[in-house]
Amino acid sequence: MYLAALACAWVADPANCSPFGRMQGIFSVAGEIGCLSAPTALRRVSKSALPVPVPGNIAAWFFFKQNRRLRLPSRALLAPAIVLAQEGFAPSEGLKVALESEGAGLSESLKAIYLDGNDAPREHIRNPELADLLQVLAESEIEDDFWRSLRAREPGPWRPEETLNNSVRQPAPRILDLDGQSQRLLTTGALETWGTWTLLGAAVTVELRRRGVLSEFSRAIEAYVLSTILLLDRIPFAVGTLEPKVAHPSVEVDISLEATAIADRVIRLLNAPVDALWNELQSTYFPGPDSWTDDANTNHFSIASGEDFLSFTTSIGPWFGSKLSWWGAGLGYSYAMKSNSLFAGQTHDVTEMSPLILEMSGRSTLAIGSAGSERILGSLTYLLFLKLGLGFKEDMADLLAKPRVFPKDGKLRMHVDFWPDARLHLETRGFSVAPTDYEPNIHMGMVNIVERLDSNRYKSGADPSSSGSAL
């Protein structure tokens, strides 16, 4: 189900994902919990070669195929995407926004596919070259055959001696016990993900609730804002850039210990006078210079089928990746391009993905993930805060409609319909507010979710700021 949807997204959502991008996810199938990470590998040569990282999506595709996890042959899974690319489609509102924003920077080959003679988004988009690529993928039994067939017909930007094979990783899932053994939050826990930090954010929420800090709503919202600032400050990459702040960034953290430390600071800041609060916040990333953030760079898929749940994300970096193409598809963007540096020991790109699964009493009940750079972290921790911290009774899919707040660039990005009393409280505490509508180009994370309500009912939801869908 996921691979069929993913292939269609390669066609219809080219701004956010591509066969030459990367993926990672967590799944619970037939009682087995597994993780998959297929980041784009970096060329270990001169910086000028970094714009063409080795793809990860194709490696993951063949990993599923060769591990006998597919009930249908590749040609059946790819058939809808091939038809979509051949016959064409009307661009979604999200794709139009991306084209209007980034169209001028696209390579000529991509412009020819998506823009008309006036450099406006085409009303009907066809991509026959991508249809051919998908057909080659459908006919290839192994990954080497796939790359050999493509390069025989179009060498592309690769050196003759260069191999495009990219090993798929299978990291152990990272698990946070939320309520004894009855409730668990699981993620991939790889370096190239926000997952570990999302679990840490959830642990801080649980600790604040345990200490009785969240009993008054406006004060609880301030606690969330402060915990998010401190959490983002803790992450070993600079906010909005993914430049490493340390030589050897790692996600090997003691979540319980660090959650306690962050909760201690949050409580102290909650009780501090305004001047003392801002004196301490000045030493964090929060009041620093504006950080450019991709409006979107990811497509997330949450899927449930019976007892089986899957949460997977895919990305090519900023909209349309490097803005270069091969076979009608965008080539992945390496964050080493943005930072113009590699951190010690780096062999793969650092991506911003956080696929999550929630278990209740040993059964998967929720698959969730988001898009939007550091707002991935913000959107997911906020929803978990509403549920685990404030005890909101609504289904998680319904909580998507609740207004959000996210600290960014010295201000609080806040939905225009946010609770007035809570907004006034935050302003009284010295925070400046940047009111935000529910729009795809200015958003606070784009969440996709599927939830099991009971043995017979499921509910799914897509973020109100996105042009995504829930089926």
pLDDT tens, 409-448? 899 999 999 999 999 999 999 999 999 998 877 788 889 9
pLDDT at res. 53: 85
> Would residue 303 count as lying in a domain?
yes
- What total of structural domains would you count in the chain? 2
> Would residue 393 count as lying in a domain?
yes
> Would residue 111 count as lying in a domain?
yes
Q: Which of 372, 371, 340, 330 lies closest to 42, judged by CA? A: 340
66 and 16 inside one domain = yes
201 and 236 inside one domain = yes
224 and 310 inside one domain = no
pLDDT at res. 166: 87
pLDDT reading at 129 higher than 90: yes
pLDDT at res. 161: 84
264 and 203 inside one domain = yes
Last residue of a domain, one of 339, 366, 396: 339
> Would residue 196 count as lying in a domain?
yes
Spatial distance between the Cα atoms of 20 and 10, rounded to a whole number of angstroms:
9
User: Tens of pLDDT along 217-267?
Assistant: 999 999 999 999 999 999 998 877 777 888 888 889 999 999 999 999 999
pLDDT reading at 48 higher than 60: no
Please check whether residue 6 is in contact with residue 301, taking contact to mean a CB–CB distance below 8 angstroms.
yes
Percent of the chain with pLDDT over 70: 97
> Would residue 469 count as lying in a domain?
no
Last residue of a domain, one of 305, 339, 373: 339
| Between residues 157 and 269, the one the model is more confident about | 269
228 and 281 inside one domain = yes
Mean of the pLDDT values across residues 337-349? 79
> Would residue 129 count as lying in a domain?
yes
User: Tens of pLDDT along 345-356?
Assistant: 788 887 778 899
> Would residue 344 count as lying in a domain?
no
First vs last Cα of the chain: how many Å apart? 12
Mean of the pLDDT values across residues 325-340? 86
User: Tens of pLDDT along 170-190?
Assistant: 989 999 999 766 899 999 988
195 and 325 inside one domain = no
318 and 377 inside one domain = no
147 and 241 inside one domain = no
Last residue of a domain, one of 308, 339, 370: 339
Mean of the pLDDT values across residues 109-115? 97
CATH number of the CATH domain containing 266: 3.60.20
320 and 422 inside one domain = no
> Would residue 14 count as lying in a domain?
yes
158 and 9 inside one domain = yes
322 and 430 inside one domain = no
265 and 178 inside one domain = yes
Which residues constitute the domain of residue 133? 2-169+295-339
